[in-house]
Structure 1
Amino acid sequence: MVHCWTGHTKAVTAMEWFPGTAHLLLTSSMDSQIKLWDVYRRRGCLRTFVGHTRGVKDISFRSDGLFFLSEGHDRWIKQWDTVTGQCTARWQTKRITNMVRYHPNNPHQFFAACDDGAVHQMDVRTGQTVQSYDQHQAAVNTITFIDEGRRFVTTSSDKAVRLWEMDIPVVIKYVADPAMHSIPAMATRPGGSALIGQSLDNQIVVFQAGKDRFRMNRKKAFKGHLVAGYACVPGFAPDGRYVVSGDSEGQIWFWDWAQGRHLKTLRAHDGVVSKVLWHPHEASHLASCSWDGTIKYWA
């Protein structure tokens, strides 16, 4: 372990590298705070963003890193200025939101996955809903953009996976199977050729995502870990050769992408490992965050 950041007082729910450079790390917590950490130099807390009254569930950087979104159990979505620490816009939601994401190519729009079975596409400037995608039968858990932002994939507690075309509220591909379980966390393979989903039957499932195709790869899965109903967000090495995930027992698991073989397990935290992020430029470094309130940097 290279470093352990210990500023949060409750479970750390999400984290993101600063876009492009990854010299900063943004984290959110059930203590209602968001923190920005220095990765390379003194490794201290550079700023704390205070404004939510209850736990923060998710955060999302804009592609230029100048702003980020947060959403919490207080049913507020907020936009923050990364440099000044000011909240520049906020929207109150009637429904609980599970994920917020800026559109990768349009900094003025973001998407919110809600527990009413809908994804709402919002305009930051007006605060208005531009489009709603509402075919799911239960809470929407994740939003993942593919095909350079022209399409996106949603997963839900209804156990189905849906593929959408941008701005068109009609499902273009529907993946469902009686054997499928709910997928509360997704990740994209570098290059965008595949997605992986943390399935609640204790395996990571794989979806092929070509330009004109989207399907589940039923011959490939990564197994051995225990998630026990938690949304442990998996990830990839920068070259896509390895898959990584935390589990409910404080461990980090590594698999070989090509063969699906388990490589090793690292004892990392004293609680659920909520997310693992490989550093995009330092292939031997990764960060993990946990319900034990800590964020750790590994080499």
Structure 2
Amino acid sequence: MAPNYPKQILTTLKGHKGPVNDVCYNKSGQYCLSAGRDRSIRLWNPETGLLIHTYNGHGRDVLGLAVSNDNGKIVSGGVDRTVLLWDVSSGEILRRFTAHWERVNSVAFNDESTVVVSGSFDATIRLWDLRSMNFQPIQVIEDCKDSVMSVEVKGPEIVAGCADGKLRTYDIRMGELKEDYIGPAITSARLSKDNNCILVSSLDDTMRLMDKSNGKLLNEFKGGHKHKEYKLASILSNSDAVAITGSEDGKIFVYDVLEGDVLSTLEGHKGVSSALAYHPENDAMLSGGSDGLIHIWG
């Protein structure tokens, strides 16, 4: 039986001036957010296509964003080297963290939304405590030899994909680090829903599914998408049955996780389809591209 995955565009969200760098759903999937080169973050209703709010406060392109578990806060990072914490309903900036000295590529909340983790072009991962009034990071991780392209947090673990070609998994509670050498620069590293695997995208037109516990390569996905120079996101479906990636030719490729074959090629964006997010509950997803559009797929 073929796995389920989104196959067609239901709605297209328009409003960003210039490329869309990141997209995400809130925790219920009722709303979605986008971050763009136009320095703005936008909150949308994906059902109706309605723009609900625009958050302005970054001085340059917004590169990464994440939503807290109670949906009340947003964190964002960008080319202006700042990490901003926003109140969703009022649109106010609650915190402005400025200790990175290069652009911030990726941001994430921990499960309790008490700590923000940021990864930067300055080759550091920084942890920020949201409960204290301290604006300095509570921890700076300096193992990466090049730009930190992607960070994700689950439980006590931080998964980081780095342009030095290494996948790093930190257990903050135990103080442990696992390093897996992938080779080419990594632009995206995402945990599977069952938390056992990591889907890694790198600049050799390849996605790899890695076993988190022992670093074994479980499968490789290539032969469809083009990925040589841009930061592209890749995601797994909620069942972990399909791996989906953007491509530098604007298409979106859906691979079968077990077989490694291309299941489908979706006509997505003009230019690069760079940003992807899977709905937390349904077989739906968001894609954002260099054409400034956001597609809702179902």
Q: Considering the TM-score relative to the shorter chain, is it more than 0.5?
A: yes
Give SS of 2:216's match. strand
Rounded to whole Å, the distance in 2 between the matches of 1:237 and 1:194 is 13
Q: Structure 2 vs 1, CA of residues 189 and 167 (structure 1 numbering), >3 Å: closer, same or farther?
A: closer
How many pairs are equivalent?
Answer: 286
RMSD between superposed Cα atoms in Å: 1.6
Within 5 Å, give how 1:129-278 maps onto structure 2.
129-146=137-154, 149-166=155-172, 172-176=177-181, 180-209=183-212, 213-217=213-217, 220-224=219-223, 225-278=225-278
CA contact (8 A) 2:156 2:173 kept: no
Query: Matched residues in 2 for 1:186 and 1:173: separation?
Result: 14
Q: Which moved more, 1:226-235 or 1:247-256?
A: 226-235
1:18-97 equivalence runs, <5 A: 18-19=26-27, 21-40=28-47, 42-93=48-99, 94-97=101-104
Matched letter for residue 101 of structure 1 = A
Q: Offset at 1:266?
A: 1.1
Which runs of 5 or more residues in structure 2 are unaligned? 1-8
- Relative to the length of structure 2, the TM-score reads 0.91
Instruction: Tell whether 2:297 aligns with 1:298.
Output: yes
User: SS of the residue aligned with 2:238?
Assistant: coil
**Sequence identity (%):** 22
Q: Deviations over 1:39-88 (max 9, x none)?
A: 22x32100000111211111111111100111111122111111111111
Give the drift of 1:135.
Answer: 1.4
Do the aligned partners of 1:184 and 1:231 also contact (CA within 8 Å) in 2? yes
Residue 214 of structure 1 aligns to a residue whose secondary structure is coil
Q: Distance in 2 between matches of 1:2 and 1:66?
A: 27
Q: Structure 1: which 5+ runs fail to align?
A: none
**Which string of whole-angstrom CA distances, capped at 9 and with x for unpartnered residues, describes residues 121-159 of structure 1?**
11123223211211121222222334xx22222221211
Q: What SS is found at the alignment partner of 2:138?
A: strand
* Runs of 4+ deviating beyond 3 Å: none
- On the 8 A contact 1:32/1:50 being kept in 2, the answer is yes
Amino acid at match of 2:153: F
Q: Which moved more, 1:25-34 or 1:224-233?
A: 224-233
Alpha-carbon offset, residue 108 of structure 1: 2.1
What is the letter of the counterpart of residue 24 of structure 1?
Answer: Y
- Determine if contact 1:159/1:182 at 8 Å carries over to the other structure: yes
Cα distance change, pair 298–151 in 1 and its aligned pair in 2 (3 A): closer
Matched, 1:101 2:108: yes
* Equivalent position to 1:10, from 18, 25, 46: 18
Q: 1:101 to 1:296 in 2, by over 3 A?
A: same
Aligned partners of 2:79 and 2:102 also within 8 Å: no
Measure, in 2, the Cα distance between the counterparts of 1:53 and 1:172. 34
- Cα distance in 2, alignment partners of residues 44 and 65 from structure 1: 18
Which structure has more relative contact order (CA 8 Å, sep 6+)? It is 2
